[in-house]
Amino acid sequence: MPADEVIDRRKHVPVREQEPSERVGNFDEVSYGYNEEEAMKEAKRCLNCKTPLCIDGCPVGVDIPKFVTEIAKGEFDEAIKTIKDKNNLPAICGRVCPQESQCEKLCTLGMKWKPLFIGKLERFAADHEKSDVKPELPEWNGKKVAVVGSGPAGLTAAADLAKMGYKVVIFEALHTPGGVLIYGIPEFRLPKSIVEKEVEYVKSLGVEIRLNEIVGRTITIDEMFGQGFSAVFIGSGAGLPSFMRIPGENLNGVYSANEYLTRVNLMKAYQFPEFDTPVKKSKNIAVIGGGNVAMDAARTAKRMGADHVYLIYRRGEEEMPARREETEHAKEEGIEFKLLMNPTRIIGDDNGWVKGIECIHMRLCEPDESGRCRPEPVQGSEEILDVDTVVVAIGTSPNPLIVKTTPGLETSKDGTLVVDGYTFMTSREGVFAGGDIVSGAATVISAMGQAKEAAVAIDEYIKSKE
Amino acid sequence: MYRIISKTELAEYTVQFDIEAPEVAKKARPGQFVVVRIDEKGERIPLTIADTDTGKGTVTIVVQSVGKTTGQLCSMEAGGTIRDFAGPLGNPTEMVENSTVVCIGGGLGIAPVYPIAKELKSRGNRVLSIMGARSEPFLFWEDRMRKASDEVYIATDDGSKGKKGFVTDALLDIINSGVKVDRVIAIGPTIMMKNVAKTTKPYNIKTIVSLNPIMVDGTGMCGSCRVTVGGKMKFSCVDGPEFDGHEVDFDELMARQKFYRTEEKDAMDKYTHEGGECKCLPTRS
Ligand SMILES: Cc1cc2nc3c(=O)[nH]c(=O)nc-3n(C[C@H](O)[C@H](O)[C@H](O)COP(=O)(O)OP(=O)(O)OC[C@H]3O[C@@H](n4cnc5c(N)ncnc54)[C@H](O)[C@@H]3O)c2cc1C
Ligand SMILES: Cc1cc2nc3c(=O)[nH]c(=O)nc-3n(C[C@H](O)[C@H](O)[C@H](O)COP(=O)(O)OP(=O)(O)OC[C@H]3O[C@@H](n4cnc5c(N)ncnc54)[C@H](O)[C@@H]3O)c2cc1C
Ligand code: SF4
Ligand code: SF4
Ligand code: FES
Ligand SMILES: [Mg+2]
C-alpha cells in the first residue's frame, strides 16, 4: 500500500450499475460489480476487528476479515479459497444474500458509518476467479448419499458430502439444476451463467446430477435405500404457489409468480418465439405482494415491455419483506407502488380475460405477534385498476409429493418437514432435510447453512452405523 | 437425451413413438403422463403414457399434431433424440374390481384410455369401450382396444365407420340396453368429456375424466394447470389429471386452454416460415 494512501472509512466505494432507463430494456445484470481497484479500496475499509461480529451474521460462517484482508492485499486467489472453505456458492451469495440483515448488519463499521460491502467483495472474489480452485478430494469412502433437489440446499449438502469422501447423486425434477436460482431469480439479478458455473463446480467434485427424475414418482425414498444409498438429504424447497382465493383468479391473464418467472427465466420466454415457451406481453400489470419474489416479477414485467407495473401490497413500504436494494431498484425502474391496498376481486371480460383488479385501501393498526402492523380494510374504499395481467406473489409452501410417497415423514401444519434442531434428521431414520422444505420460503444462505449442518450430521450418522 | 426407438404413423395427424426411458417405463401406471421438451429451445408439453415395455425399457406416446411443438415432434424419426422426458407424473387411475366400466376414447383420447382399459380388464372387470372419431381415418388401435375390452363400440361423426354419431350416443345405447354401468372413464377433447359427464349425470354413474389444461413443470410448482373441481382450486398435474367429471368446471377449462392462442399462432407461423414441416390438424375452435 502506498504510504500516502488515505483510507476514508466513512464511505463505501459505490458499485457501478446499469442506468435505469437503459436496463428496463434488457435482461442484463443490473450491477456491474467492483473491478480490482475498487475492490481493494473497499476492502481496506475493514477494521479487522478482534471480535469480528460480521462472521456471526453469516449463516455459513465465512471468515470475512480474512478474505477481505486478502483482497486488500491483492491476493485474490487466496481470498476465494478462504470463502469457498465455508461457502460453495459465493458468486451467488455475493449477489442475492440479504447482507443488510446478515453479515453487514453486524459489521462494526456500520455502527457509525456505512458497513463494509461484504457481499460485493464476496461477489468480486468469486467473479475474479480464473481457473477453478478445487479442493483436493479424499478417496471415495465406499458410501453413497442421495440428495433430492438441486437448489442451494441440495447443491451445498452434495458438495460438502463429496468433499468428505462420499459419492453423491442429486435427483432433480426439472431439466436444469439450480432450483429457484435458475427458475425464479431473474437473469438481471443473477445471471444464469453464474449459476451454471457454480453447478459445474459442484459437479467437478464428483457429484452426479440426474435431471428429470421426480422423487416420489420416478424413484421413491425407500427405493433409494434399496439401491445402496446410506442416507438421503431432502432439499426440495417450498415451490407450491399460494393463491389469494378471491373471485377471478382463474381468468386468463392471472399468473402465480412462479409461473410467470419460470416461463421467462427457465424457459426463456423473453426470447419468444426464438424459444418456444410463450408469456403474455402485458400492457398494464398488477403484481401482488411485497417480497423479493414480487419485486422480481414486477421488474421482469417492466422488461417485458409493460407500460404500467403496479405493485400492490397490503402494508406500508417499511413492512415490505423485500431487500432494500430490490425495492430501490424497482422504484428507479418505474414500478408503481400501491401500498396499503389489498385485492378483493379480479374482473374479467366476456371471453374470460382479465380487464381489471378491484382493491380495497388498508390502514395499519396494532402490531401483531410477528411485530408487524396488522392491516385492516377501510370500509367503502374500493378502487379498480385497469390491468390485463395479474401476478400473484403472496408466498409458496412445500410441495406435498415427497411426503405423500414416503411413509413416516412427519410434517408441521404448514407442510414443512419436522427435523431435529441439531442433526436435521427427519422422523425417518437416515433421512435428513434442510432449506425451504424445513423453514418454509426463506433465503438462499439459510438453506445453505442448514444443508451444511445436515451434511456434518449425515457424515456422523453414517459413521455411527459402521 | 432420450432416444426414439420406433415411429409409427397411426392415423391422420397421429403418430406413435416408442421412446427409450427405462426409469419412466419401470414406474409408469395407467393414467400417468410425461413432460417432454424436444430440444434446448423447446417448451415443456405433457403427453400421456399410452403403454410401456419394461423389458425394452421403452415408453409409448401417441402424439397428435396440433401446433408447433407437436408438429415438430411428429416430424422426428426413429433414431432421433428428445432432450427431456420427465415422469411418470400425475396420479395413476383409481382401479376398481368386479365392476362394469365403460372406457371412452375420443380421437386422440383412445391412446390414453387404452392402458386404463387394459389394466381394468386384467383385474377381471367387465370393460365396454367406445372409440370415437370424426371419421374413419382418425381411428387407431382398434386391435389393441378389442384385446383390452369385452366389447368395443365405434362411433364416427360422419358414419364412415361404426355408428354415425357421437360417443355419447353410443354411451346412451349401452345405458338404455339395461347394462348396469358402475363407472365411466372418458378421455378426449374437453367438449366431449363435458358432454359425457352431462350424459351420465341423470343416471348417477360415477364418471372420471382426464383433464388437459396448459402445463409447464407438471410437478405442482407453477399453478398453470389449475382447474376448478367441486368449487375448489386444484392443480391438475399433482391433484389429477383425473377428476370426477360431475364436479369439473369445463367451461373455465376450455377458456383457459385458449390462453396463448395468439402466441401459438405466431410460433406456428415462424416454424413453417423457416421451413418447418407441419401438417397440423386444421381445427381450431
Ligand atoms: C423469485 C424469488 C426470488 C428470491 N430472491 C431471493 C434473494 O434475493 N435472496 C435470497 O436469499 N433468497 C431469495 N429467494 C429465496 C430463495 O431462492 C430460497 O429460499 C432458496 O432457493 C431455497 O433453497 P432450497 O434449496 O431449499 O430450495 P429450491 O431452491 O426451491 O430448490 C428445490 C429444488 O428441488 C427440486 N424438487 C422439488 N421437489 C422435487 C422432487 N420431488 N424430486 C426431485 N426434485 C425436486 C426443485 O425442482 C428445485 O430444483 C427468492 C425466491 C424466489 C422464488
Ligand atoms: C395431462 C395431459 C396429457 C396429454 N396427453 C397428450 C397425448 O398423449 N398426446 C397428445 O398429442 N397430446 C396430449 N396432450 C395435449 C398436448 O400437451 C398439447 O396438444 C400440446 O402441448 C400442444 O402443443 P403445440 O405446441 O403442438 O400446440 P400449440 O399450438 O402450442 O397449442 C395447441 C393447444 O394445445 C394446448 N396446449 C398448448 N401448450 C400446452 C401445454 N404446455 N400443456 C398442455 N396443453 C397445451 C392449448 O390448449 C393450445 O391451445 C396432453 C395434455 C395434458 C395436460
Ligand atoms: S455468504 Fe452471505 S451472509 Fe455470508 S458473508 Fe457472504 S454475503 Fe454475507
Ligand atoms: S465487523 Fe466489519 S470491520 Fe469488523 S472485521 Fe467484520 S467486516 Fe471488518
Ligand atoms: S403444471 Fe405447473 S403446477 Fe401443474
Ligand atoms: Mg406450443
Q: What element of type H or E holds B267?
A: helix B261-273
**Position A309: which residue type?**
V
pLDDT of residue B279 exceeding 90: no
Take atom 1 of ligand 4 and give the residue whose Cα is closest: A107
Q: Was B35 annotated as part of a binding site? A: no
Q: How many helices (H) and strands (E) does chain A have?
A: 19, 16
Q: Ligand 2 atom closest to Cα of B46?
A: 17
Q: For the segment B169-192, what is each residue's pLDDT rounded down to a tens digit?
A: 999 999 999 999 999 999 999 999
> Which of A267, A264, A258, A293 shows the shortest CA–CA distance to A281?
A264
The alpha-carbon gap from B25 to the nearest alpha carbon of chain A, in Å, equals 9
Give me B18's grid cell: 416408442
- What letter does residue B275 receive in the DSSP assignment? T
Cell numbers for A107:
459489521
Q: Residue A12, CB half-sphere, CA atoms under 13 Å: how many?
A: 20
Q: Which residues line ligand 4 (CB under 6 A)?
A: A 46-49, 52-54, 64-65, 107-109, 116, 118
pLDDT for position A136: 79
Contact B104, B129 (CB under 8 A): yes
Closest ligand (CA of B67): 2
Alpha carbon distance B234, B5 (integer Å) = 36
Q: How far apart are CA B174 and CA B186, in angstroms?
A: 15
Burial class (CB in 10 A: 0-12, 13-18, 19+), A465: exposed
Instruction: Confirm or deny that B64 is annotated as ligand binding.
Output: yes
Say how many Å lie between the CA of residue A65 and the centre of ligand 4. 6
Residues within 5 Å of ion ligand 6 by Cβ? B 67-69
Query: A258 and B86 in contact by Cβ < 8 A?
Result: no
Mean pLDDT along residues B238-258: 97
DSSP letter string, A299-342: HHHHHTT-SEEEEEESS-GGG--S-HHHHHHHHHTT-EEEESEE
User: Please, are residues B184 and B129 in contact by the beta-carbon 8 Å criterion?
Assistant: no
Burial class (CB in 10 A: 0-12, 13-18, 19+), A37: exposed
Q: What's the CA gap between B75 and B190, in Å, rounded?
A: 26
Q: Is the CB of A87 under 6 A from ligand 3?
A: yes
- Closest Cα to atom 8, ligand 3: which residue? A103
- pLDDT, residue B280, reads 67
Residue B143 has pLDDT above 60, yes or no: yes
How far apart are alpha carbons B91 and A216 in whole angstroms?
11
The Cα-based distances of A60 to A85, A101, A334, A367 in angstroms read 10, 14, 35, 32
Distance CA A9, CA A53 (A): 17
Q: A with B: how many residue pairs have Cβ under 8 Å apart?
A: 123
Contact B255 A352 (CB under 8 A): yes
B285 pLDDT more than 50: no
Chain A CB contacts of B227 under 8 Å are 250
Among A444, A452, A453, name the best residue to mutate to test ligand 1's pocket (greatest count of ligand atoms within 8 A of Cβ).
A444
| Residue B278 pLDDT | 62
Residue B282: the pLDDT is 64
Non-local CB neighbours of B198 within 8 Å, separated by 6+ positions = none
Query: In the structure grid, which three cell numbers stand for residue A157, read together?
Result: 449438502
Across the range B85-108, mean pLDDT stands at 96
Residues 6+ apart with CB under 8 A from A248: A254, A345, A346, A347, A348, A354
Residue B274: per-residue pLDDT: 79
Q: What is the DSSP string of A179-227?
A: THHHHTS-TTTS-HHHHHHHHHHHHHTT-EEETT--BTTTB-HHHHHHT
| B220 in contact with A, Cβ within 8 Å | yes
Least CB-CB distance to A278: which of B84, B221, B260?
Answer: B260
Closest ligand to residue B268's CA: 2
Cα(B47) to centroid(ligand 6), Å: 13
Low-confidence ranges of chain A (pLDDT < 70): 1-5, 131-133, 372-373
Option in B24, B219, B222 nearest A256 (CB): B222
Which pLDDT tens digit goes with each residue over B197-224?
999 999 999 999 999 999 999 999 999 9
Q: Is B237 annotated as a binding residue?
A: yes
What are the tens digits of pLDDT across the range A171-207? 999 999 999 999 999 999 999 999 999 899 899 999 9
Is B167 assigned to a binding site? no
Which pLDDT does position A132 carry in this prediction? Answer: 63
**pTM score of the predicted model:** 0.95
Is A445's C-beta closer than 6 angstroms to any atom of ligand 3?
yes
Closest by Cα among A100, A54, A60 to A84: A60
The pLDDT value given to residue B284: 45
Q: Which residue has the cell 431498484?
A: A329
With beta carbons under 8 A apart, name residues in chain B contacting A274: 41
For residue B91, give the chain A residue with the closest CA: A217
Q: Of chain A residues 307-366, which have a CB less than 8 A from chain B?
A: 351-352
Contact criterion met (CB < 8 Å) for B37 and A175: yes
Per-residue b/e over B47-67, b at no fewer than 16 CB within 10 Å? bbbbbbeeeebbbbbbbbbbb
- Residue A343: phi and psi, rounded to 5, are -65, 140
Identity of the residue numbered A258: N
* C-alpha distances in Å from residue A295, one per residue of A4, A49, A189, B152, B257: 44, 35, 11, 56, 28
Residue type, A139: E
Residue environment code for A136-172, b if the CB has 16+ CB neighbours within 10 A, otherwise e: eeeeeeebbbbbbbbbbbbbbbbbbbbbbebbbbbbb
Closest-CA residue to B46 (of B243, B219, B227): B219
- A274 CA distance to ligand 3 middle (Å): 37
Contacts of A183 in chain B (CB under 8 A): 221
ipTM of the assembly? 0.96
Instruction: For CA atoms B1, B5, B7, B10, give the dihedral sign.
Output: negative
Q: Is B108 in the pocket of ligand 2 (CB under 6 A)?
A: yes
